[in-house]
Amino acid sequence: MAAGSSQDITTDLLVIGGGIHGCSAALNAALRGMRVVVFEKDTVARHASGVNAGGVRKLGRHVAEIPLSLHSMSIWNRIADFLDDDCGFQPAPQIKIAETEDELDTLRERVAELNGLGYTHEVILDRKTMRGYLPAVAEHCVGALASLQDGFAQPYQTTFAFQRKGIEKGVRFLENTPVDRVFKTGKDWKVVAGGQTFTGRFVLNCAGAWGGEIARQIGDHAPVSAYAPMMIVTERVRPFCDAVVGATGRPLSFKQMPNGTVVIGGGRPGIPDPATNRTHMQMAQLRHSAQTAIDIFPIMRGAQIVRSWAGIEGLMPDGIPVIGPALHAEGAFHSFGFSAHGFQLGPGVGDIVAELIATGRTQAPIAPFSVGRFSQVSTKPNEELS
Amino acid sequence: MFKRIKATETPRVSFSFEGQPIEASTGDTVASALMLSGQTHFRNTPISQSERGPFCMMGVCFECLVEIDGIPNRQACMIPVREGMVVRRQKGAIGVETE
Amino acid sequence: MKACDLAIIGAGPAGMAAATEAANAGLSVIVLDEQPAPGGQIYRAIETVPEERRKILGPDYAHGAGIAQAFRNCGATYIPEATVWNINPDLSIDYSRHGGSAQVSAKHLLIATGAVERPTPLPGWTLPGVTTAGALQILLKAHGGVGDDVVLVGSGPLLYLLAQQMIAAGKPPKAIVETIDRERYIKAARHLPRALAGFGYLRKGLSMMRQIRQAGVPRFSGAHDIRIEGVHRAEAVVFSVGGKAHRIETTSVALHQGVVPNQQATRLLGCDHAWNESQRCFVPKLDVFLESSIENVFVAGDGAGIAGAKSAAMRGRLAALRVAQKLGHSNGADIRALQADLKRDEAVRPFLEALYAPSRDILQPADETIVCRCEEVTAGAIRRAVDLGAPGPNQVKSFLRSGMGPCQGRMCGLAVSAIIAERRKEEPEAIGYYRLRPPLKPLLLSELAQLEPEATRSEPL
């Protein structure tokens, strides 16, 4: 690094966390003319952003997330032009299977609710239409809920592409650089990392599962916990499924990649250890994911698992992220705690947060994601130590 | 060409590879029996369909994958021969659709 | 679930000797091994090899019979044909046997999974008919098979041992193409004084060389730009020596550039590893009793760093004695003597490592050479990913799928780390290695689905 440790480095925006949200917000802020530094304690996309299941899904979103998801989708649909990298993005239907009539009724209620709110992207597939999309689905499946213009992408490739485009636009990435301290002096924010102090008008917390501590230093209470959804990938098998499939009555996320491998996830958690960056698999739990995949696609019985893994996600108690300004300190913002479904939101929320920081406002309805929805114990940001 | 040092007196085992009869000795693995019968091409890769044969003979390289009695992905170098086995080349990605 | 004081993965010299020592000390021991009979690769088929073949393979091989017999009689629970596919942090172990999975749990674990051949990426190395030298030795040991036009290519004592055994079997290799040159002998010579402590090894080496010379096997030293030609299978080896091009027709090419620790299990557990520059590979960090950075996890045999079969057995005994001591079954009296013996046995290693260092051709393969055999990823593709900004093997893997095929990175891991290190001008230690995840070997989805949940800690150990 050019500057000595005693020297301050001054910039506009200090982003903490090099996942898809940090990288996307940093790029969007740079596109708005800001000078940006991103601090990543490991390497970009090391955790949830690099190893998630890659679903680009509007289907089944919390209603508050739908506008954000729709905005994000509009960026996904032109992602190759935006980032000069196709991110492995493939448009594909997302289909949530009903295994019983009761489950199908629940799905019908969901569609009615969304239609009432003016959303039409989720539709019911009857048994025959569902089988048209999924010829290999098990006989007992009765129908499905679908969002036909969704897709999937390569998570590491995508986050890496955001980083590269960011660098091209002048964003400075400091990898393997954990943030030791965040505090406010006057109107400015300071980040101490890698033996240096960085000064910026704004700080953005995109620290995922590690976002709670950063929020605390900013002066907010955000009860985020580490969560490690387990996933499986098989060897290459001949193409038989080109939709992303979930289930209604039990956790499942299932898709065949264009290279033939099948990725099976669905939220059964392993054991995260955020202090060491490791996650431990729980095979006694993961077996249920294997069973569900075989129940819904019986032809998967003969496929071989090549690898299983779990990334570290930040989970909020109510399952939706924290997005927006800090409650108690001006110039600080949050965008973390995406609770294992933040990948699709990355492009859109990064744009919204950058707009919010650069202009002080956004049209996007982000009020439901305020950190203020959690009871606040701390009300004072870290101040400079005297 | 690989040959046995000495035609040993161990009992013979026969099985088939791509429909051809193969004579083996007890104690052979599927890979050793095929190599000693002059076979080199065990599988095609799922990517370029290029031809592959045994490389490590100790269960590490997964180049000798064959289909045995209808089950794909068997490591030929790890599986002892059995009378009447039906062995086929594994051609590219396995098909899970043919149940 | 079966529980024990010490679980051992691998029944080669280290695993067998450790099991014998531990069982004799009164420990309950379970040995899991993938092969149907004990011996590992070095003593493969040791219990059933016919007399004439035993003679061909020589006295060092025959020495394994006593180790195997002692192991059979020691009272350890031996589970052959068991493929370990997961090791949990509590040292419970999932393994697959005959199509179903079961578990054992252990207070201590000894990883004795030995060595694998160093990846040798060069043009044409994926053609049928190209094998490792170890593969041809296994064909000879276990199945009495030998080729009639084999060309041995590379560097390392195994090439000469295999040549000697082939000569004894009446089928000398057609040629030996060596990647080491005269300069290397000079570099290695400075290690000779220390190596003299291992005089027995040097004497055996000279004897092998003599037999190869007497058999009239052509040797080419200092070969480079090696490639294997062929369409559907190997047809010829092509190489240069001192500006002169050579082409040798053959249907069987055996490659060798030394062996390296099999890191799969130690990486899965998250043991710390260090880069060993002399051996050009990663070695788990171990204390003087062979305990890894993870408490109660030990590593013995070549997996602890390449030292050969004799050292492997000694290391196995050392680890077993240490576990017995920790459990109060032994006062550890023999430990010091074993450590001294080990030091003596390993004295020859720096000389061998300097002499038979891997060739630059395979450490830095040409751009068009396939490095990841399973996913057909070339050295050039890896370099391009590095140039884009991918900092290490895990990002390259995410980007290119290298290491994501059925061999799970076994055949390319070291080569990928070395290529990235060279491109980034960093040390391999800083670049690191693939993060390994279960299953350790590919596992049927249906086998995972049928995994019986077993009470892990309710039973007394």
Domain ranges for chain B: 12-91
Of B71, B93, B99, the CB nearest to A237: B93
* Three-state secondary-structure class, residue B83: coil
User: According to CATH, what is the number of the domain C119-257?
Assistant: 3.50.50.60
CA distance B98 to chain A (A): 8
The C-alpha of A9 sits at a distance from chain B's nearest C-alpha, in angstroms, of 49
Nearest Cα residue in chain A from C390: A160
C406·A163 Cβ contact <8 A? no
Interface touch A237/B71, C-beta < 8 Å? no
ipTM value of the model?
Answer: 0.95
State chain C's mean pLDDT as an integer. 94
**pLDDT score, position C458:** 38
- In the DSSP assignment, the letter for residue B11 is P
Q: Does the structure show a pLDDT above 80 at C253?
A: yes
Residue C455 pLDDT greater than 60, yes or no: no
pLDDT at A3 over 80: no
Question: pLDDT tens across A285-342, in order?
Answer: 999 999 999 999 999 988 999 999 999 999 999 999 999 999 989 999 999 999 999 9
Q: Which residue has the tokens 């091209």?
A: A168
**Distance in angstroms (rounded) separating the CA atoms of residues A236 and A360:** 48
Searching chain B, which residue's CA lies closest to the CA of residue C264?
B60
Name residues 144-173 of chain A within 8 A of C (Cβ): 154-157, 160, 163-164, 167
Contact check, Cβ <8 Å, B1/C148: yes
Q: Hey, what are A120's tokens? A: 């039409």
pLDDT of residue C454: 62
Query: A-B interface: how many C-beta pairs under 8 angstroms?
Result: 35
Enumerate the residues of chain A whose CB falls inside 8 A of the CB of residue B93.
Answer: 235-238, 260
Among chain B residues, CA nearest to A300 = B96
By percentage, how much of chain A surpasses pLDDT 90? Answer: 93
User: How far apart, in whole angstroms, are the C-alpha atoms of residue A277 and residue C313?
Assistant: 36
Report d(CA B79, CA C360) in Å as an integer. Answer: 36
> Given pLDDT bands bounded at 50, 70 and 90, which one contains residue A384?
low
pLDDT at B9: 60
Say if the Cβ atoms of B32 and C143 lie within 8 Å: yes
Statement: residue A2 has pLDDT above 50: no
- Contact with chain B for residue C37, Cβ under 8 A: no
Residue A297 contacts C where some CB pair is shorter than 8 Å: no
CATH class of this structure's domain C364-431: mainly alpha
For B28-42, the pLDDT digits (tens) are 999 999 999 999 999
From chain C, pick out residues whose CB is under 8 angstroms from the CB of A302: 444-446
Contact call for A287 and C450, based on CB within 8 A: yes
CA distance to partner chain A, nearest, from residue B31 (Å): 21
Q: What is the side-by-side strand order in the sheet with C130-132?
A: C130-132, C252-257, C150-155, C175-178, C219-220
> Which residue, among A305, A309, A312, A343, would best test binding to C if mutated, counting the most C CBs under 10 Å from its CB?
A305
Query: How sure is the predictor about A376, in pLDDT bands with cuts at 50, 70 and 90?
Result: confident
Q: How far apart are CA C166 and CA C137, in angstroms?
A: 9
pLDDT at A169 over 90: yes
Confidence of residue B96 (pLDDT cuts 50, 70, 90): low
pLDDT at C126 over 80: yes
Contact between chains at A301 and C445 (C-beta distance less than 8 A): yes
From the list A260, A299, A304, which residue is nearest B73 (CB)?
A304
- Whether A385 has a pLDDT exceeding 60, the answer reads no
Residues on chain B touching C131 (C-beta within 8 angstroms): 54-57
Mean pLDDT of A160-188: 97
Under an 8 A CB cutoff, do C128 and B41 touch?
yes
Minimum CA–CA partner of A87 in chain C: C399
Q: Please answer yes or no on whether B99 and A236 come within 8 Å at the CB atom.
A: no
Please determine, for residue A6, whether its predicted confidence score (pLDDT) is greater than 60: no
How far, in Å, CA of C343 to CA of C345, rounded? 6
Note whether A236 contacts B46, CB cutoff 8 Å. yes
- What's the alpha-carbon Rg for chain B, to the nearest Å? 13
The single-letter DSSP state of residue A48 is: H
Sequence-separated (6 or more) residues with CB below 8 Å from residue C191: C350, C351, C354
| pLDDT attached to residue A1 | 41
pLDDT value at residue C457: 40
State how far the alpha carbon of C406 is from the alpha carbons of B35, C388, C410, in Å: 22, 27, 9
pLDDT of C461 over the 50 cut: no
User: Which of B1, B29, B58 lies nearest to residue C147, judging by beta carbons?
Assistant: B1
State the average pLDDT for chain A.
94
Task: List the subunits that have 3+ CB pairs under 8 angstroms with A.
Answer: B, C
Q: Does A275 touch chain C (CB under 8 A)?
A: no
CB contact under 8 A, A284 and C453: yes
> A8-53+156-223+317-374: what fold?
FAD/NAD(P)-binding domain (3.50.50)
Cα–Cα distance, A376 to A355 (Å, whole number): 26
Query: Using one digit for the tens of pLDDT, what is the confidence trace for A194-251?
Result: 999 999 999 999 999 999 999 999 999 999 999 999 999 999 999 999 999 999 999 9
Over residues A62-73, the mean pLDDT reads 98
Give the pLDDT band (50/70/90) at residue C333.
confident
Q: How far C258 CA sits from the closest chain B CA (Å)?
A: 13
pLDDT exceeds 70 at position C394: yes
A160, A283, A306: residue with CB nearest C94: A283
Do B63 and C373 count as a contact with CB atoms less than 8 A apart?
Answer: yes
Give me the residue from B25, B32, B62 closest to C374, CB to CB.
Answer: B62
* pLDDT at position A46 over 50: yes
Taking CB atoms and an 8 Å cutoff, what residues of chain B touch A303? 94, 96
Of B46, B72, B92, nearest to A302 by CB-CB distance is B72
Q: What is the signed CA dihedral for C372, C375, C379, C381, rounded to 10 degrees? A: -150
Q: pLDDT at residue C460 above 60?
A: no
Tens-digit pLDDT profile for residues B39-56:
999 999 999 999 999 999
Identify which has the larger pLDDT, C162 or A375: C162
Domain with CATH 3.50.50.60 in chain C: 2-116+260-332, 119-257
Predicted confidence at residue A64, as pLDDT, reads: 98
Domain layout of chain A by residue ranges: 8-53+156-223+317-374, 93-149+229-310
Q: What is the DSSP string of A157-177?
A: HHHHHHHHHHHHTT-EEETT-
Kindly report the CATH number that applies to the domain delimited by C2-116+260-332. Answer: 3.50.50.60
Instruction: Please tell me the predicted confidence (pLDDT) of residue B8.
Output: 60
- Per-residue confidence (pLDDT) for residue C330, from 0 to 100: 85
pLDDT confidence band for A5 (50 / 70 / 90) = very low
* Contact yes or no for B94 and A303 at CB 8 A: yes
Percent of chain C clearing pLDDT 70 (strictly above): 98
Pick the CATH number of B12-91 from 3.10.20.440, 1.10.1840.10, 3.40.1000.10, 3.40.190.150: 3.10.20.440
C-alpha A34, offset from chain centre: 24
B 31-90 residues with CB < 8 A to A: 46, 71-73
At C218, list the tokens: 């052509």
Rounded to a whole number, what is the distance in angstroms from the first to the last CA of chain B? 38
Rounded to whole angstroms, the Cα distance separating A72 from A66 reads 10
Angle in degrees, CA C84, C97, C411, rounded to 5: 45
% helix / strand / coil in chain B, to the nearest 5? 10, 35, 55
* pTM: predicted TM-score of the whole model, two decimal places: 0.95
Cβ of A124 under 8 Å from any chain C Cβ?
A: no
Nearest to A234 among C395, C445, C449 (CB): C445
| CB-closest option in B36, B50, B59 to C143 | B36
Is the minimum CB–CB distance between C52 and chain B shorter than 8 Å? yes
Q: What is the 3-state secondary structure (H, E, C) of chain C?
A: CEEEEEEEECCCHHHHHHHHHHHHCCCCEEEECCCCCCCCCCCCCCCCCCHHHHHHHCHHHHCHHHHHHHHHCCCCEEECCCEEEEECCCCEEEEEECCEEEEEEEEEEEECCCEEECCCCCCCCCCCCEEEHHHHHHHHHHHCEEECCEEEEEECHHHHHHHHHHHHCCCCCCEEEECCCHHHHHHHHCCHHHHHHHHHHHHHHHHHHHHHHHCCCCEECCEEEEEEEECCCEEEEEEEECCEEEEEECCEEEEEECEEECCHHHHHHCCCEEEECCCCEEEECCCCCCECCCCCEEECHHHHCCCCHHHHHHHHHHHHHHHHHHCCCCCCCCHHHHHHHHHHHHHHHHHHHHHCCCCHHHHCCCCCCEEECCCCEEHHHHHHHHHHCCCCHHHHHHHHCCCCCCCCCCCCHHHHHHHHHHHHCCCHHHHCCCCCCCCCCCEEHHHHHCCCCCCCCCCCC
> Rounded to an integer, what distance in angstroms lies between the CA atom of residue B39 and that of residue B55?
13
Token couple for C416:
């990928």
Confidence of residue C202 (pLDDT cuts 50, 70, 90): confident
- Using a CB–CB cutoff of 8 Å, tell me whether A265 touches chain C: no
| Residue C359, φ and ψ in degrees, nearest 5 | -75, 150
Class of domain A93-149+229-310: alpha beta
Which of A283, A284, A300 is nearest residue C445 as measured by Cβ atoms?
A300
